[in-house]
């Protein structure tokens, strides 16, 4: 086979060199590369686990924030409701006081009107009495005593009042 260019010794040397190279590469390159790849794989897995934990923590924080936000929203709605109720109560109280004051003003006006009416009636009676006495003097032509005049006027006014 040497005629064909095959030298078995050379092929055998190549084979041995190849085997030594494979063993050397396996010992010095393949295993360290595999170890580096394994470490890299672990780091990536740890990073993914860490990212998943951070994601879960962020989700919990977001849920907590949403809960607190909802509580704050409800609290502000309750406060607004209380303020609206207090405002309505104050409005009702003011209206009630205004009505009472208006009624008191009306009552005072009625009392003043009644007093004015009584005063006007009293003045009118006095004037009617004076006119009646004057008319009676002219008609009768004589003077009657004051007591008799007042009795006559009182009787006349009583009849007019009825």
In a domain, 18, yes or no: yes
In a domain, 152, yes or no: yes
pLDDT band at 41 (very low <50, low <70, confident <90, very high): very high
- Predicted local distance difference test score (pLDDT) of residue 134: 73
Q: The pTM is what?
A: 0.42
In a domain, 2, yes or no: no
Domain of 132, in residue numbers: 7-161
- The angle formed by the CA atoms of residues 22, 23 and 29, to the nearest 5 degrees, is 80
- Predicted local distance difference test score (pLDDT) of residue 142: 56
pLDDT band at 144 (very low <50, low <70, confident <90, very high): low
pLDDT digits (tens, 9 = 90+) for 58-114: 999 999 999 999 999 999 999 999 999 999 999 999 999 999 999 999 999 999 999
Find the mean pLDDT for residues 23-42. Answer: 88
In a domain, 72, yes or no: yes
| Number of compact structural domains in the chain | 1
Q: Are 62 and 70 in contact (CB under 8 A)?
A: no
What percentage of the chain carries pLDDT values higher than 90? 56
Whether residue 156 has pLDDT greater than 80: no
Q: What is the spatial distance between Cα 100 and Cα 82, in angstroms, rounded to a whole number?
A: 27
In a domain, 1, yes or no: no
- Predicted local distance difference test score (pLDDT) of residue 132: 75
In a domain, 99, yes or no: yes
In a domain, 107, yes or no: yes
Which segment of 13-27, 98-112, 122-136 scores lowest on mean pLDDT? 122-136
Torsion sign over Cα 138, 141, 146, 149: negative
- Predicted local distance difference test score (pLDDT) of residue 34: 86
In a domain, 116, yes or no: yes
């Amino acid at each position: 086979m040497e005629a064909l260019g095959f030298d078995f010794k050379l092929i055998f040397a190549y084979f041995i060199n190849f085997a030594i190279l494979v063993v050397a590469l396996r010992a010095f390159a393949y295993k360290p590369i595999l170890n580096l790849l394994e470490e890299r794989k672990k780091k990536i897995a740890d990073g993914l686990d860490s990212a998943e934990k951070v994601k879960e923590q962020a989700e919990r924080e977001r849920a907590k924030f949403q809960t607190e936000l909802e509580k704050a929203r409800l609290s502000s709605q309750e406060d607004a409701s209380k303020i609206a109720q207090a405002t309505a109560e104050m409005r009702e109280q003011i209206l009630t006081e205004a009505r009472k004051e208006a009624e008191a003003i009306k009552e005072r006006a009625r009392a003043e009107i009644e007093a004015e009416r009584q005063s006007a009636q009293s003045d009118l009676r006095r004037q009617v009495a004076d006119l009646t006495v004057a008319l009676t003097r002219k008609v009768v032509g004589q003077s009657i005593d004051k007591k008799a005049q007042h009795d006559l006027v009182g009787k006349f006014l009583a009849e007019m009042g009825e």
